[in-house]
Amino acid sequence: MTADVHLEARIRDRTVDSALRRRAAAVVPGGMYGHLDMARLAGHPQYIHRARGARLWDVDGHEYVDLMGSWGPVVLGHHDPVVEAAADRQRALGDCLNGPAEIMVDLAELLVRVVGHADWALFAKNGTDATTMCCTIARAATGRRLVLVAEGAYHGAAPWCSPNPAGTTGEDRANLRYYRYNDLDSLRAAVEDCADDLAAVIVSPFRHDAGYDEELADPDFARGARALCDTTGAALVLDDVRAGFRLHHGSSWEPLGVRPDLAAWSKAIANGHPLAAVTGGDGWREAAGSIFVTGSFWMGAVAMAAAHATVTELGRRHAVEHMVQVGDALRAGVLDSAGRWGVEVSYTGPVQMPNLLFADDPDRRLVRAFCDEALARGVYVHPQHNWFVSAATTTADLDMALTGLDGAFAAVRGRARR
Ligand SMILES: *Cc1c(COP(=O)(O)O)cnc(C)c1O
């Protein structure tokens, strides 16, 4: 069977997925929305039936090795037995209650132990809640308005930070100013422009703008950002929502020796259960206690129990080291395949959160075709977003991934310009 026939067969065999898409089109605006909208990607199933470890199955029964980890949350693997047992124990006691369960204090204590800069923690549901709270705390503490954001960086889906301007107003962003990631001069100039009205500098642990090569943080940039915040009294806010607990067991800039004042967490913190957190140092405790932030489901105890188990297990299993090993092997395999098939690629970022792009592919046609071919061979990857390696990836999972990706390179090699 040629690669194209293989792909065609997979795409044709989407009976259940197609029926669900048709029903959704009638009752969900656009059929689907946000980052999980697969409408413009030919090879991606929209609906997933179940998942275990590093594998998932779509509603038509196709099996995949999962290299997306639910876009970040699933770090120990799908349905991790230890995390799910902790969640089940808490669920038997209660979840959404009149007050938080004991687990909230246990979890805050755990984060304060594990996260270098943390003297306290607050909890919420989404990463956007956490990044927004960091800005609110910084403004409450400083009495200033402006927040510096890296151009093109993603910090969530609220009007102040959404990458899609539909329905937002200029006023939503009136208190933002911009700098270029890893460009200390541009940060310094932006800080000067804010004069005495700078409340916070928000920064991600590395540059992971969707659709672009990833860039690790230049340690001088990180240290320079710390020094500028120290001089001005603004909060250094680390947006660890995506990278948290994947680069380091604790805050992602700990290996650089740079401690933020406030950090936003979500995604991997509870292995797929809905939880976000803000951590901070003592100097920001009073302001953090002064703002009004809450949500009907924020104190859900099951997600907190899952987070406690996740953070504990990540440490106990040396998950970061394991993800680096798997990520190194994935990177080596991908680059080897690309080289053998004569395809020029750029594979960037930390190996546990890599980003693949093709050379000379401005409209991303090649990387999309490649991902479609990979999906047809049972490897779930994405053409516009970094991938996420999970700590559940076994040798067999890695072999299946590398075999599928090699086949995908073979299938697109004729289309790639050299
Ligand atoms: C996903 C993400 C967010 C937003 O988190 P949500 O849970 O989707 O609200 C914020 N910052 C970064 C870096 C992210 O990757």
Average pLDDT, the chain: 96
CA distances from 229 to 177, 222, 347 (A): 15, 11, 33
- How wide is the angle at C-alpha 288 spanned by C-alphas 136 and 193, nearest 5°? 40
How does residue 1 score in pLDDT terms, banded at 50, 70 and 90?
Answer: very low
pLDDT at residue number 416? 62
- How wide is the angle at C-alpha 157 spanned by C-alphas 108 and 26, nearest 5°? 120
Ligand 1 centroid to residue 407 C-alpha, Å = 32
Ligand 1 centroid to residue 243 C-alpha, Å = 10
| Residue 66 and residue 382 in contact, taking contact as beta carbons nearer than 8 Å | no
Pairwise CA distance, residues 277 & 124, whole Å: 6
DSSP per-residue string spanning 232-295 = HT-EEEEE-TTTTTTSSSS-TTGGGT---SEEEE-GGGGTTS--EEEEE-GGGHHHHHHS----
In testing the pocket of ligand 1, which one of 33, 129, 242 has its CB within 8 Å of the most ligand atoms?
A: 242
What are the pLDDT digits (tens) for 141-155?
999 999 999 999 999
Residue 202: enclosing H or E segment and its boundaries? strand 198-203
- The fold for domain 81-316 equals Aspartate Aminotransferase; domain 2 (3.40.640)
How does residue 211 score in pLDDT terms, banded at 50, 70 and 90?
Answer: confident
- The fold for domain 3-61+318-417 equals Aspartate Aminotransferase, domain 1 (3.90.1150)
Provide the residue ranges of all domains of the chain, joining segments of one domain with +: 3-61+318-417, 81-316
Ligand 1 centroid to residue 155 C-alpha, Å = 6
Q: What is the mean pLDDT of residues 292-298?
A: 97
| Residue 168 and residue 162 in contact, taking contact as beta carbons nearer than 8 Å | yes
Q: Given the CA of residue 208, which atom of ligand 1 is nearest to it? A: 13
Which protein residue's CA is at the shortest distance from atom 5 of ligand 1?
Answer: 127
More confident residue, 204 or 3: 204
Pairwise CA distance, residues 181 & 72, whole Å: 22
pLDDT at residue number 10? 61
Ligand 1 centroid to residue 128 C-alpha, Å = 6
Which protein residue's CA is at the shortest distance from atom 11 of ligand 1?
Answer: 155
pLDDT over 70 percentage in the chain? 96
Q: Given the CA of residue 131, which atom of ligand 1 is nearest to it? A: 10
pLDDT at residue number 8? 63
Pairwise CA distance, residues 43 & 369, whole Å: 8
Pairwise CA distance, residues 227 & 236, whole Å: 10
